[in-house]
Amino acid sequence: MVMEEEVMVNRKVVLKHHLPPDRMPKESDMELVATDTVRLRVPSGSMAVLVKNLYLSCDPYMRSRMTKHDEPSYVPDFVPGTAGITVHGLSGYHDTYRFGSSRFSITGYREWQPTLRWLLSIDRRSSALSVMRRIFDIKLIRIKTSEGQVPTSRKEGSFTSNSTNTLCMPGLTAYAGFYEICSPKKGEHVFISAASGAVGQLVGQFAKLMGCYVVGSAGSDEKVNLLKNKLGFHEAFNYKKEPDLNKALKRCFPEGIDIYFENVGGAMLDAVLANMRLNGRIAVCGMISQYNLGKHDGVHNLLALIAKCIRMQGFLVSNYYKCYREFEEKVVRYMKEGKIVYIEDIAEGLENAPSALTGLFAGRNVGKQLIVVARE
Amino acid sequence: MVMEEEVMVNRKVVLKHHLPPDRMPKESDMELVATDTVRLRVPSGSMAVLVKNLYLSCDPYMRSRMTKHDEPSYVPDFVPGTAGITVHGLSGYHDTYRFGSSRFSITGYREWQPTLRWLLSIDRRSSALSVMRRIFDIKLIRIKTSEGQVPTSRKEGSFTSNSTNTLCMPGLTAYAGFYEICSPKKGEHVFISAASGAVGQLVGQFAKLMGCYVVGSAGSDEKVNLLKNKLGFHEAFNYKKEPDLNKALKRCFPEGIDIYFENVGGAMLDAVLANMRLNGRIAVCGMISQYNLGKHDGVHNLLALIAKCIRMQGFLVSNYYKCYREFEEKVVRYMKEGKIVYIEDIAEGLENAPSALTGLFAGRNVGKQLIVVARE
């Protein structure tokens, strides 16, 4: 039982400095800071709220935010240092705590999110975040200040990390990318790179449920095994063991690829372009192989776009929140029917956030990378 | 007046050998052959027809056909040598001759196209050509065998080369590429490379008529002058005089590019990707800078596809024949109203076909490159 008036240390992970664009992030680029405190009693009558972070997400797109850019991108660069870093700093998706129920939210790499004013100020700045908040039904209900303290154990509802993952950002990314961008048809040949990752594993299962032939690539035999034996891919290969990606794709797709779900970029994209079929579609979701390069690898086979009438479409999940209800309804049903499984890799404790995040770029994670800050 | 029973030499241009992929085509790769003859009297009662070629087209896509490919492409490779070369050889678009009226057709680089059986056999092999023949209303009416000879002067109708050009392949390419692929809206910022070429000059004029801001690039000051002063582009630049394409685009598009009509590829595409706006569209029509390279230039800025949600779509005109009537109606009206002009570069005589065709890749042509074989 938390005592009234208790003041707790509110640990957070901050970026120590901006990274140059041309190297991998290291754990030493971040540090765990334990100088902030949080008062667990919320002032009576205030609109403040105390949110407890349970699971935090590690996502490849965060790499770009670690480098300072001259021109603004779709997400702001992180701000190294101390003041305000959590707000503009390393931020991830987590579950908010409301009398035991948990919800998707937007927060920082910290234990407690002490006030609603932060979220409100983001709402004013960013309509995308505002929409996200509405759609994901983040009910940051003010703690009952008559009671004056945060409950420390779950009273009702049941928490699983699925609401952070399958049903949130990676899930909607997979859903919109596959159904909205790829225009899939039954029987088509689908290739997914980084196929055991947070997004890829779902795309593959969606494609299989539609009756497509599905092949994935990944960076270890363990991941390939998961793709074939747990996630139901028809075929999979370890790209690190293939001396010639073009030949690997020809072996898996003797008749060519209709749909490519792009998560890695570079040499894999070049090999795919050489193996696409007429009227193929490429959903460009990510290019993780390029995120730590100063100059990105050249892609040489773009001429294939013409002869094969290929559509190549980049997208951001934030443009597809309109699909959320439809997505949620379909995917929850699939999950209840046992048609979709989800593989997670959970790092224990906020102190392991730097390791978990840097591990993404070395391919250390198996499945969706999460950090558990607290389980309840 | 051509005499009955007259037998004439039927000159043609043939490819002497397949080219390696990594060099420019030379005039000496082709030769004018004068060994075939044609009998001007068509056998009475036969289904034969004698077609007289007037204008032949030179198009960049023909370069690919000069090299032998292991895998079939959307157009077959040319076959060097003699027998059957005209059929499978260098072929271009021309106007067929029917009692003075002229029509778009598909033929070889030759003076006379002696029989309908050739076209019929193509129809059986290729539904695309069959559709083209139907849509373009190629009425290869059998020469009246009671008369037994080909009329040598125009009796009715009025011939202009527009039916070869504006209203045929390049025109429909420009039309479909702009209206169907680019999804243009009034006020958008449109960039066109190879903008004075057969396709580019029309795209720019379509975009201007829609109320877009239109900029083009070309390879000489003469072409830039035409773009600005004859074709009505808002701005144009000579890419050969720009030490930094990125800066040239930033100068012309301080707020970025909504639509890029891609005709050149390589470094220009990279510079454009760095200057695209959110939700931009790239219609990939051609990449002429790459056609004579063994290994194509690497394109490094594809990551922009994601952050800017760019759609990049390759296309072939053969998929848009369904738009032909709509295209013809609109463009003929524009031409009658004087809202569209068309710049042509006409080489005189079949003997100049090799020079005209190779000139495309050196940028020697100003506007659409044609070869006039006969004017009537």
DSSP string over A13-56: EEE-SPPPTTS---GGGEEEE---EEESSPPTT-S---EE--EE
Identity at A74, one-letter amino acid code: Y
Q: Collapse the DSSP code of A87 into the 3-class scheme (helix H, G, I; strand E, B; otherwise coil) and give the result.
A: helix
A277 & A147 share domain = no
Q: Are B124 and B136 contacting, i.e. CB atoms less than 8 angstroms apart? A: no
Query: Do residue A300 and residue B304 have CB atoms under 8 angstroms apart?
Result: no
Based on the fold, state whether residues B178 and B198 are members of the same structural domain. yes
Asked if the structure places residue B329 within a domain, the reply is no
Query: How far is B314 from chain A, CA to nearest CA, in Å?
Result: 4
- Judge: B302–A303 Cβ closer than 8 Å, yes or no: no
Residues of A in contact with B181 (CB under 8 A): none
Structure confidence at residue B284 (pLDDT): 98
CA dist B114 and B151 (Å) reads 15
Q: Are residues B155 and B175 in the same domain?
A: no
Would you tell me the crossing angle of helices B127-135 and B116-125 to the nearest 10 degrees? 120
- Same domain, yes or no: A158 and A279: no
Whether B137 has a pLDDT exceeding 70, the answer reads: no
pLDDT, mean of residues A332-339? 82
**Average predicted confidence (pLDDT) for chain A:** 78
Q: What's the pLDDT at A62? A: 87
Q: Are residues A148 and A173 in the same domain?
A: no
Q: Quick check: is A19 in a domain?
A: yes
Nearest-CA residue of chain B relative to A75? B307
Specify the residue for token string 């692929």: B181
At residue A290, does pLDDT exceed 70?
yes
pLDDT cut 70: percent of chain A above it = 73
Interchain pair B299, A295: CB under 8 A: no
Contacting residues of B for A305, CB less than 8 Å apart: 284, 312-314
Q: What is the pLDDT of residues A9-60, one digit of tens each?
A: 888 888 999 999 999 999 999 999 998 887 766 665 555 556 677 777 888 8
Assigned domain for A276 exists: yes
Q: How many domains does chain A have?
A: 2
B302 in A contact zone (CB under 8 Å): yes
Residues A209 and A292 in one domain: yes
CA–CA gap between residue B312 and residue B128 (Å, rounded): 24
Indicate the residue among B304, B319, B334 that finishes a domain. B319
Residues A28 and A154 in one domain: yes
Residue A130 contacts B, CB cutoff 8 Å: no
Q: Which segment of A182-186, B68-72, B279-283 scores lowest on mean pLDDT?
A: B68-72
The DSSP element (H or E) to which A239 belongs, if any, is none
Does A297 sit within 8 Å of B306, measured CB to CB?
no
For helices A127-135 and A116-125, give the axis angle rounded to 10 degrees. Answer: 120
| Option in A290, A296, A306 nearest B284 (CB) | A306
Q: Could you list the residue range(s) of the whole structural domain that residue B25 is in?
A: 7-165+343-372
Residue A125 lies in a domain: yes
**pLDDT tens digits for A347-370?**
899 999 999 999 999 999 998 888
CB contact under 8 A, B300 and A296: yes
Output the domain CATH number for residue A64.
Answer: 3.90.180.10
CA distance A27 to chain B (A): 25
Does any domain span residue A332?
Answer: no
Determine, yes or no, domain membership for B210. Answer: yes
Name the residue among A73, A74, A265 with its Cβ closest to that of B302.
A265
Q: Provide the shortest C-alpha distance from residue B312 to chain A (in Å).
A: 5
pLDDT of residue A40: 67
Residues of A in contact with B304 (CB under 8 A): 314
Q: How far is A360 from chain B (nearest CA, A)?
A: 18
Claim to verify: residue B241 and residue B314 sit in the same structural domain: yes
Residues B59 and B156 in one domain: yes
**Closest residue in chain B to residue A291, using alpha carbons only:** B303
Q: Does A314 touch chain B (CB under 8 A)?
A: yes
Radius of gyration of chain B (CA): 21
Residues A30, A178 share a domain: no
Residue A312 contacts B, CB cutoff 8 Å: yes
- In whole angstroms, how far apart are CA A26 and each of A62, A368, A375, B194, B253? 13, 20, 27, 45, 38
Q: Per mean pLDDT, which range of A62-71, A299-308, A355-364, B98-107 is the poorest?
A: B98-107
Contact B284, A305 (CB under 8 A): yes
The half-sphere exposure of A37 on its side-chain side, counting CA atoms within 13 A, is: 7
The answer to the question of residue A330 being in a domain is no
Which tokens belong to A295? 């100059």
CB contact under 8 A, A298 and B298: yes
CA distance A316 to chain B (A): 7
Question: Looking at beta carbons, which residues of chain B come within 8 Å of A278?
Answer: 74
Residue B95 has φ and ψ, to the nearest 5°, of -110, 135
**Rounded-to-integer distance, Cα A207 and Cα A179, Å:** 9
Mean pLDDT of B281-303: 96
Select from B278, B300, B309 the Cβ nearest to the Cβ of A298: B300
Residue B4: how many other CB atoms lie within 10 Å: 10
The verdict on a CB contact (< 8 Å) between A302 and B265 is yes
List A95's β-bridge partners, or say none: A104
Q: Cα(B111)–Cα(A19) distance, rounded to whole angstroms?
A: 66
Q: A167 burial class (0-12, 13-18, 19+ CB within 10 angstroms)?
A: buried
Contact B296 A297 (CB under 8 A): no
Same domain, B145 and B25: yes
Q: Is B73 on the interface with A (CB under 8 A)?
A: yes
The two structure tokens encoding residue B184: 């243009």
Residue A334 lies in a domain: no
Beta strands in chain B (DSSP E): 7-9, 12-15, 30-33, 37-39, 51-52, 55-57, 91-98, 101-108, 112-113, 189-192, 213-218, 235-238, 257-262, 276-284, 311-314, 344-348, 368-372
Using CA atoms, how far apart are residues B312 and B281, in angstroms rounded to an integer?
A: 6
User: Distance from A287 to chain B by nearest Cα, in Å?
Assistant: 7
User: Is A299 near chain B, with CB under 8 Å?
Assistant: yes
Q: In whole angstroms, what is the distance from residue A363 CA to residue B296 CA?
A: 30
Q: Is the pLDDT of residue A225 over 80?
A: yes
Provide the residue type at B248 as one letter.
Answer: A
Tokens of A304: 């294939």
A75-134 confidence digits (pLDDT tens) = 778 888 642 223 222 223 233 333 333 455 566 788 876 544 334 333 333 333 333 333
Helix, strand, coil percentages (3-state) for chain A, rounded to 5, are: 35, 20, 45
Chain B environment of A294 (Cβ under 8 Å): none
Lowest mean pLDDT among A156-160, A240-244, B251-255: A156-160
- Which residues are within 8 A (CB) of A351 and not within 5 positions of it... i.e. 6 or more apart? A11, A32
From CA B262, how far away is CA B285, in angstroms rounded?
6
Range among A111-115, B257-261, B341-345 with highest mean pLDDT value: B257-261
Here the CATH number for the domain that contains residue A302 is: 3.40.50.720
**What ipTM goes with this model?**
0.84
Distance CA B43, CA B149 (A): 10
User: What are the phi and psi torsion angles at B113 (to 5°)?
Assistant: -115, 100
Residue B288 to residue B262: CA distance in whole angstroms? 10
B305 shares a domain with B364: no
Q: Is B302 close to A295, i.e. CB distance below 8 A?
A: no
